[in-house]
Structure 1
Amino acid sequence: MTNFRPLLAIAASTLALTYAGAASAQAAPTDTQDATASGTPNDQGDDQGDIVVTGTRTAGRSRLDSTSPVDVLSAATLQRQGTTELGASLAAVVPSIDFPRSSAVDGTDSIRPATLRGLSPDQTLVLINGVRAHTSALLNTNGSVGRGSAAVDLNTIPSVALDRIEVLRDGAAAQYGSDAIAGVVNLRLREARSGGGATVTYGQYITDVDTARGSRNEHDGETVTASGWQGIALGQDGFLTLSGEYLNRNPTSRGDFDPRKTPIRVRSRFGDPDVEQYSFYANAGAPVGDNGWELYGFGGYQHRDSTSAATPRVAGGNPVNASADALASLYPDGFTPLINVKSEDFTVAGGLRGELSGWKVDLNLSYGRNQLTINTLNSGNATYGANSQRNFYDGKLTYDQIVGGIDVSREQPLGEGTINIAWGAEYRREGFKIGAGEHASYDRGPLSANTALGSGAQGFPGFLPSNRVNVHRDNVSGYLDIEAKPNDRLTLGVAVRGESYSDFGETATGKLSARYEFAPWLAVRGTASTGFRAPSLQQQYFTSTASVLTGGAIVETGLFPSISPVGVALGGKPLRAEKARNLSAGVVLKAGGFDLSVDAYHIKIRDQIALSENLGGTVVAALLAANPDTNNVTAGRFFLNGIRSTTKGIDVVAHYRTKTDTIGIFDLTVAGNFNDIEVTRAPAPATIIAPPNSPPGTPASATLPIFSRQRIISFEQGTPRTKLVGTIDWSLGDLGVTGRASYYGDVTQPGSTGFAEDDIHTGRHTIFDLEARYQVIRNVNLAVGANNLFDTYPDYVKVLSSRGTQLNSTGLVGFPYYSPFGFNGRYLYARVGVTW
């Protein structure tokens, strides 16, 4: 159960400040530089800087006046950190968002998903300028946070292209459609007719690494980021804003010492991948004629070349690694396979908006595409021995999306107040492809009779021809969203939405919301909604198998679609949409420069989709062998519905801003997320019945776990139950300082034995960040800083558990890769910026 005592302490202290602090703030003039919205620096010092377009379709609504909690994050907030990754920047300042830095989990090392309120990464909808963003082609299939999800890759959007980000912490499927169960992240691009800027940031990790078997000092992860933007006038009132970013990051290594071979040394490269990427974005708008209509559009492209490391293969070690020994002529001491992922991400959108007969009309069309080309480097196919090649092309994953929509709204008088009526429709077409790798990446060569040798490229075998996929689906939807403000104190909202998918059918959702202002300084708000998330094409059709030698025959095992012959034989069914019920209630206090919001939430999800355990054994092999459509398969896993969970918690944001004549401007924020997730129902073990003609000695049946304790722990404890972020931003003349303390509760990385004593824990830790800035001359500024100033790590992975189970026998991992703040240690950086 979540401990809410820290929340009570925060609430008590901030309430005490309400009158003492806010009274002095009321007399202070409003400053227009670097004010804070929801605990983050913003460019406006009053509510105008907090106007939101997410969660409401009524113009002019501020974040504190909205019926749902919304965080508003400015471009300055994203910049005043050492990291230039958007996902990491968000996680540093929004307590309800986490962005684990996984390692040794294949493609997820390079394309990491973010979570909101501890829910699955694909249960948060991401918008760009209010338009649905496309997901990554990658399906996270390994044991990382977000296993089984295909989510939007936030790092494809460079921070320099953004003006602000709005994070809606509330269910919003009735307003925006599928995926908005946990909330919505709306990325709003920079709009400028003139001016520009450029920034160069350099940093590296300088850290002392203490693992279970020893200590060492590391200077690695050198990162250079160069970015810039330029505003261009289009006619008298139009604009074109161009933004670009280049990033080059060297890898980090935080593995333990490997005891399998003398001399004992660090052989793994457990840490961040090597990355080189460049990104471009454009955002434009221009009036069409003199009737108030505007033509607008935006587009972006990113190329990312990312290389992470798999498990090292040690030749001549103890225990024996047959594959490493078979390739010893190529790699005498063994080798560490490298998984190279080249991501090509493309987005383009355009639209026309204006007013027609008193109704605001917005017509828009967008296209997005993500293609991943996967290669295995510095490796080998052990079944070819000394004749193996070292580098392999493993195949491609491609996802694309077309979205067309119309949004219509009108605000009109209602008694003493107003009512805003909005309605619209949307069409979406999605596609997903898998392309096979080269023959040697998946094949078994001349040494295939040795069953101890793996199949295909070591580290990441290629996609087989039988894994090829080329599927599409479409859906249409319509919504009605009404928000009424009968008087100055009361706001009421209702939204309904209907969707029809070509693959799984129809669904309907609804939302009720209300806000009542007892006094100018006190208001209450609440919502009740239903939500859904359609099963992704990746979950429905992703196929990844490997060839193995069984009984003298080469057969397949791996991940199959639930509706494939293998999936159906093992109990698979067509996937249904996930359904959710969201309840929230909150209070808002504001006076002068002080504001406090406390919002409680309760989310129930049913039919949640998850990846099953691998089902294998003699009974499964006999069952599959008896079917001519599956007789070349011996084991498999698939996606299924069947999980029910309850998420409940509280978000609190307390903010105080004051300006003094002598000691500068102070912006203080304390924000926290207290979250508890419980899996209330999971799929029961599967009973597999052997066919009548099974081989002699085959048991009549087998009962196999289909959803293990390991997966339940990942759902419930894979993100921190408590996360607190305290920030102070101070400026005086040309000087500025930002300090931040982030507390992370314990996270559990589940063991595979089924015993709690074998689980790995991150521990409870507080991370301190500090940045100092100086305006050298009017257009040039310098900054130096440290992320994780005191070089704090999660608890290291022990060699043995309290039960005597080996947790760290190879030295591959030094720290839990579930760690919500990573495991790289202290990062020092410097930044120089120029504006014009």
Structure 2
Amino acid sequence: MNRLPSCFALSALTLAISTPLTVIAEEVTIETEETLVVVGSRANPRSALDSAVPVDVISADALQNSASMNGEIAQLLHSLLPSINFPRQSNSDTADIVRPAQLRGLSPDHTLVLVNGKRRHTTSVLNTGGKTGRGSAPVDLNTIPFSAIKRIEVLRDGAAAQYGSDAIAGVINIVLKDADQGGSISATYGAHVTDFKPTDSSIVDGQTTLITANKGISLDNGFINVSAQYRDRKTTNRAGFDQVPFWEVDAGNPDVVGKVNYKVGDPEEQGFALMVNAEKEISDNISLYGFANHSNRQALGSNFYRYPNDTWSNVAEIYPDGYIPMTDGTTKDDAVVIGIKGSHDWDWDLSANYGRSFFDLNLKDSLNASMGAASPTEFHLGTFDYSQLVINADASKLVNLIGFDATIAVGAEYRTEFYKTTAGDEASYSLGANIAAPGSQGSQGLRPVDTVDVSRNAAAIYADVEVELTSDLLASTALRYEDYSDFGDTFNSKLALKYSLTDFVNLRGAASTGFRAPSLVQNHYQASTSDFGDNGALTTFAIVAPTSELAQAVGAKSLKAETSTNYSLGVVFNSDFGLSATVDAYLIDIKDRISLNQGVYTAPDGTPINELPEAAARPGIQGVQFFTNAIDTRTQGVDVVVDYNVDSLGLSLAYNHNTTEITNGGTSNVEEINTLESAAPKNKLIFTANHSWNGLNSMLRVTRYGETERVFDFGGGYHPQQTFSANVSVDVDVNYQFANGLSIALGANNLLDQYPDLSSDEINYFGNFPYDVIPPIGLNGRYVYSRINYKF
């Protein structure tokens, strides 16, 4: 059970969530006091600068003109907001395809995602291969067409007392377009045009075609708004010259030295997304509403190169020159929300929300070396299917409470979740007759013993009160009780205050408790995977559920919820001459964080994992991993946003400083410590200038990413590490608007073609990975694009 300190005893929040209207002049539209935000309050929406906790508001125009036109919502947020980090994963299994973003340096699943205020379902894929967000199954933001977005509200404060599980770092609320007329169509083409020093080559790759459309349709007392997006991206490759691991030289592979054998970069990807948003008034003060979304995306990601004469992972008769296994994943996302709302004394809203994520995983250009020449080269690895159904009932009313104007809100929620996996081809996991690695190289298929078919349900009730205690003092509280069928119940609360010190200066602060339930995927995911083991060699691990017999045999315990306490304190300055500024400090303590443990090679009595009777159904594995609640952390930082808008000029400066430390010594896993404490940049600064003149709109953005650190554990006490220095990226977008609704634009991300520091010989994997995936500037270099847009 989570409780606030005694001074906040009975409270908690629901407040009009705040706003530093974060930024970037034209990008994060600094929209003045008429800009209202929905997230964070069940009272009437307030302006961004007039709420009690910080909220960033990003308009649709800001997204389109952000100089990040590759069609990825997470990448756009990374470019626009200093508190969001979205590194480019590579050679990371499914994390290449479903990439996680993080808010305030916390885990991707510490951020709750809403669409039109309704909880969005998470992905069915667990991130086990990626560095950032390892072990998480967050929402896949890139399933939503950005042409459907009216604005994005990013609440940077704990909000579990309002919305339930996951809202520890904050909330991202995607508000859909609701126009009943007009529309737009846009086409963008871009590519990476870069000089790649490690191989002394000029490269043009990553060609991306993005086509979007939106149309508003009028109904009698209502609207239908339809949006679509098509995206095709080619692969990038930033591999260096291969110096070849010493054990491969010993195996007889000197002929591949000095060649580019690996593929390191973005996967090839094609995808389509559709969104429909609608509402119709059916009688006085009663409306039906709903929205639906379908997304289908296929991507082809690279794994490590397998050498020609390595009999452990190759069969020379099939691949005499070696091979790169290619992960072929197809993800399908569907969501439908229907509801009815009205007002008669009380404002009320009843809704049903269904979402599903289905992932079909296959492998190309691979083999099962233990089967010899009889091995197939393509494999079906399994399917992952997650769905949720949420029923909500909400009501609010403006009342006079003991002489004070107050909004009272109450509600209930019922959620049921389902998770199912199916096995892969037998050849994708079997151990053949040859003395060689079992299963398909790159990723192994799910064994029958790995498959699961599980469900759970959760019920919640909440109450909030927002009170204007005086004309200058606003108080907001929220209380929430939630009960889960698989781990128990939790009670959370929040209190937020806003005080108008003068007509131009507001003080604001909040204190809350929160929680994140172990996801159904984390609780039950099982698979075999390859990871670094002793001496840096790839080793086969079984990831098993904490409650499985194998995990229990090596000391695992059932998962419990993560719990948090969140404090924030800020000041808002809003002048009448175009200048505004916000400063918000925060502190987040999280107990019992869920993480994937370090590989275990033996049972407590010293028995090797592959000799345990509980491992008999998983032949060929050398280690085992499972999730634990071992770690407590403290995250603290500050967000600063300064905006100046006058006439046709907009200037913005946005800054985030953020640190996380493990407070309980709960792990000795140096890679996990690195992931939590130093892999994300400690600071990020964004300066943006926007100027408009006679239809010509220009944007210049300069982003400074702070230093990051990478640590590896290659076994035997060998822990190479490297600190990567800060990087600066310059982005530009120049757009000319014709009078007939047509506009054309040219732009560039990372115009100066900057790369992070070269990786040291200790961590560049024998020259193959000259740049690491950790530095947030990425490893693809300059990206240039052109765009044509027509509004009608």
TM-score (normalised: structure 1): 0.87
Partner of 2:306: 313
Task: Give, in whole Å, the separation in 1 of the partners of 2:243 and 2:30.
Answer: 58
The reply on whether 1:541 has 2:528 as its aligned counterpart is no
1:381 to 339, 362, 368: 368
Letter paired with 2:649: F
2:261 to 267, 287, 293: 267
The reply on whether 1:783 has 2:748 as its aligned counterpart is no
Could you list the per-position Cα deviations for residues 145-187 of structure 1 after superposition, in whole angstroms to 9, with x for gaps in the alignment?
A: 1011110011111111100000000000001100000000000
Mapped contact 1:37–1:49 kept (Cα < 8 A): no
The reply on whether 1:466 has 2:449 as its aligned counterpart is yes
Secondary structure at the aligned position of 2:168 is classed as coil
Post-superposition offset of 1:672: 0.6
Matches within 5 A, 1:196-595: 196-211=183-198, 214-235=199-220, 237-260=221-244, 261-262=255-256, 264-289=258-283, 291-316=284-309, 321-323=310-312, 326-356=314-344, 358-413=345-400, 418-447=405-434, 450=435, 453-545=436-528, 557-592=541-576, 593-595=578-580
Letter paired with 2:236: T
Could you list the per-position Cα deviations for residues 674-694 of structure 1 after superposition, in whole angstroms to 9, with x for gaps in the alignment?
A: 00110112436xxxxxxxxxx
Q: Determine which structure has more spread, i.e. the larger CA radius of gyration.
A: 1
Mapped contact 2:21–2:48 kept (Cα < 8 A): no
When residues 626 and 104 of structure 1 are mapped into structure 2, their CA distance, relative to the original with a 3 A threshold, is closer
Secondary structure at the aligned position of 2:238 is classed as coil
Post-superposition offset of 1:384: 2.1
Post-superposition offset of 1:629: 4.5
Mapped contact 2:239–2:770 kept (Cα < 8 A): yes
Mapped contact 2:333–2:356 kept (Cα < 8 A): yes
When residues 814 and 49 of structure 1 are mapped into structure 2, their CA distance, relative to the original with a 3 A threshold, is farther
Task: Give, in whole Å, the separation in 1 of the partners of 2:608 and 2:377.
Answer: 38
Could you list the per-position Cα deviations for residues 559-589 of structure 1 after superposition, in whole angstroms to 9, with x for gaps in the alignment?
A: 1111111111211111110000000000001
Mapped contact 1:595–1:655 kept (Cα < 8 A): yes
Secondary structure at the aligned position of 1:365 is classed as strand
Could you list the per-position Cα deviations for residues 392-441 of structure 1 after superposition, in whole angstroms to 9, with x for gaps in the alignment?
A: 11100111010000111011245776211111000000111111001111
Letter paired with 1:156: T
Unmatched tracts of structure 1, length 5 or more: 1-34, 549-554, 660-664, 685-706, 800-805
Letter paired with 1:668: L
Task: Give, in whole Å, the separation in 2 of the partners of 1:189 and 1:531.
Answer: 27
Mapped contact 2:656–2:683 kept (Cα < 8 A): yes
Post-superposition offset of 1:547: 12
**Of 707-716 and 503-512, the range deviating more from structure 2:** 707-716
Secondary structure at the aligned position of 2:542 is classed as strand
Task: Give, in whole Å, the separation in 1 of the partners of 2:29 and 2:72.
Answer: 24
Matches within 5 A, 1:38-187: 38-41=23-26, 47-80=32-65, 81=67, 82-187=69-174
Partner of 1:689: none
1:601 to 586, 609, 612: 586
Mapped contact 2:594–2:628 kept (Cα < 8 A): yes
The reply on whether 1:642 has 2:630 as its aligned counterpart is yes
Partner of 1:16: none
Unmatched tracts of structure 2, length 5 or more: 1-19, 245-254, 532-538
Secondary structure at the aligned position of 1:622 is classed as coil
The reply on whether 1:750 has 2:743 as its aligned counterpart is no
Mapped contact 1:597–1:652 kept (Cα < 8 A): yes
Task: Give, in whole Å, the separation in 1 of the partners of 2:286 and 2:21.
Answer: 33
Secondary structure at the aligned position of 1:41 is classed as coil
2:671 to 710, 727, 732: 710
Letter paired with 1:833: N
CA RMSD of aligned residues (A): 2.2
Task: Give, in whole Å, the separation in 2 of the partners of 1:337 and 1:810.
Answer: 19
Task: Give, in whole Å, the separation in 2 of the partners of 1:748 and 1:538.
Answer: 29
Task: Give, in whole Å, the separation in 1 of the partners of 2:257 and 2:766.
Answer: 14
Task: Give, in whole Å, the separation in 2 of the partners of 1:556 and 1:728.
Answer: 50
When residues 88 and 728 of structure 1 are mapped into structure 2, their CA distance, relative to the original with a 3 A threshold, is same
Task: Give, in whole Å, the separation in 1 of the partners of 2:27 and 2:786.
Answer: 22
Secondary structure at the aligned position of 2:770 is classed as coil
Post-superposition offset of 1:40: 4.6
Post-superposition offset of 1:753: 4.8
Partner of 2:640: 652
Letter paired with 2:134: R
Partner of 2:16: none
When residues 63 and 218 of structure 1 are mapped into structure 2, their CA distance, relative to the original with a 3 A threshold, is same
TM-score (normalised: structure 2): 0.91
**Of 812-821 and 38-47, the range deviating more from structure 2:** 38-47
Post-superposition offset of 1:724: 0.5
Task: Give, in whole Å, the separation in 1 of the partners of 2:468 and 2:125.
Answer: 44
When residues 420 and 337 of structure 1 are mapped into structure 2, their CA distance, relative to the original with a 3 A threshold, is same
Task: Give, in whole Å, the separation in 2 of the partners of 1:624 and 1:312.
Answer: 27
1:728 to 689, 707, 713: 689
Partner of 2:7: none
Could you list the per-position Cα deviations for residues 329-384 of structure 1 after superposition, in whole angstroms to 9, with x for gaps in the alignment?
A: 2222111110011001001001000013x110000111000011001101111122
When residues 44 and 417 of structure 1 are mapped into structure 2, their CA distance, relative to the original with a 3 A threshold, is farther
Could you list the per-position Cα deviations for residues 452-496 of structure 1 after superposition, in whole angstroms to 9, with x for gaps in the alignment?
A: x21111111111111110000000001111111133211001110
Letter paired with 2:386: Y
When residues 572 and 40 of structure 1 are mapped into structure 2, their CA distance, relative to the original with a 3 A threshold, is farther
When residues 202 and 514 of structure 1 are mapped into structure 2, their CA distance, relative to the original with a 3 A threshold, is same
**Of 264-273 and 181-190, the range deviating more from structure 2:** 264-273
The reply on whether 1:828 has 2:789 as its aligned counterpart is no
Post-superposition offset of 1:812: 3.0
When residues 500 and 773 of structure 1 are mapped into structure 2, their CA distance, relative to the original with a 3 A threshold, is same
Letter paired with 2:791: T
Mapped contact 2:28–2:56 kept (Cα < 8 A): no
Q: State percent identity of aligned pairs.
A: 37
Task: Give, in whole Å, the separation in 1 of the partners of 2:21 and 2:477.
Answer: 30
Task: Give, in whole Å, the separation in 2 of the partners of 1:43 and 1:576.
Answer: 38
Mapped contact 1:165–1:185 kept (Cα < 8 A): yes
When residues 632 and 295 of structure 1 are mapped into structure 2, their CA distance, relative to the original with a 3 A threshold, is closer
Mapped contact 1:443–1:547 kept (Cα < 8 A): no
Mapped contact 1:455–1:547 kept (Cα < 8 A): no
Partner of 2:535: none
**Of 239-248 and 137-146, the range deviating more from structure 2:** 137-146
Task: Give, in whole Å, the separation in 1 of the partners of 2:404 and 2:26.
Answer: 33
Task: Give, in whole Å, the separation in 2 of the partners of 1:737 and 1:627.
Answer: 65
Task: Give, in whole Å, the separation in 2 of the partners of 1:787 and 1:300.
Answer: 29
